[in-house]
Amino acid sequence: MDKNKIEFAGWIFFTKVVHIIGVKRIPILAKILAKIFFYFIPIRKNTVISNLTKAFPEKSKREIKKIAYNNFVSMGITFMEIMAFQKMDEEQVISLSDINNIELAQSKVNTGKGSILLTAHLGNWELGALTMGLVLEKRINVLVKKQRNKLVADWMSEIRERFNNKEIPLGASVRELYKTLISGGVVGIVGDQRGKKEDGIIVQFFNQPTVTFQGFAALAIKNRVPIVVVLNIRKSSGKYVFDIEEIDYENLPESLPDQIVELNQRYMTILENKIREAPEQWLWMHNIWKYQ
């Protein structure tokens, strides 16, 4: 049996476990798994601690270690909740969230000129796309990065497209994205991944020079469509609170390259402020500062 099949078998096993124990018991299992993968089989633990130390230099080693451990718990909850989505209906998915300022998103996606919904690996980002599609009654065309394991990727595609949303593979024709926006559609982008050193741009994130993609900003400027940032944070009750904010085009620099940098900086500043509210809930396992 090859590596992909073994990984997928493990994924399906945990999915069945989650379906058996139910959503409310997920945090219990997440804490058990966090202890295993933080203390005994440390996977990406050093990356998490290194990132947190750079982001929060004012915190002690003990505080950093506590946030790092809770990050493992949080990621466990997020991924097991994604597994649970397979058995949830529309009402159950919507019931997981309280949404602030939904009127802003509604007004932007209904302009008829298309819009970009921008999110990040914070809280439960997959829940964000599902919930917004249902609440806004709009198809979210979600830009996704191709995963190494096609079996897991196909499983995730079924989850993402359950309620009328649609995947657009990263690297697909830019023309398809433009077509979606021109037709009044909504493009969903997770914008906080590390960019490529050769063609990325540099912004400040937690006072660190950070390489990110031109991505959403280049697309937005070309089509002059609304950019709406949608981020969620998990509360102790297990529900998520969504905050919605628009990135406007006011006071942009004159040159196109500088405009792209500025829009990305505005997004990363919004994201950083939200992460500071619940630092354990962002994906610190991603080596965001690889090129430093």
Examine the domain organization and report whether 158 and 224 are in the same domain: yes
- Give the model's pLDDT for residue 214: 87
Same domain, 83 and 190: no
Using the 3D structure, point to which of 63, 87, 111 is the last residue of a domain: 87
Q: Are residues 238 and 204 located together in one domain of the fold? A: yes
Helix (H, G, I), strand (E, B) or coil at 241: strand
Neighbour-count burial of 192, counting CB atoms closer than 10 A to its CB (0-12 exposed, 13-18 middle, 19+ buried): buried
Going from the first residue of the chain to its last (292 residues), give the mean pLDDT of each consecutive group of 10, the final group possibly shorter. Answer: 89 96 96 97 96 98 98 98 97 97 96 93 97 96 89 96 91 79 94 88 97 92 94 96 97 95 98 98 95 80
Tell me: do 192 and 265 sit in the same domain: yes
CB contact at 8 A, 203 and 88: no
Would you state the pLDDT for residue 145?
84
Range of the domain at 73: 1-87
In a domain, 235, yes or no: yes
pLDDT score recorded for residue 197: 85
DSSP assignment of 161-219 equals TTTS-EEEETTS-HHHHHHHHHTT-EEEEE--SB--TTT-EEEEETTEEEEE-SHHHHH
Statement to judge: residues 138 and 266 lie in one domain: yes
Query: The whole model's pTM is what?
Result: 0.95
**81, 86, 87, 90 alpha-carbon torsion, rounded to 10°:** 90
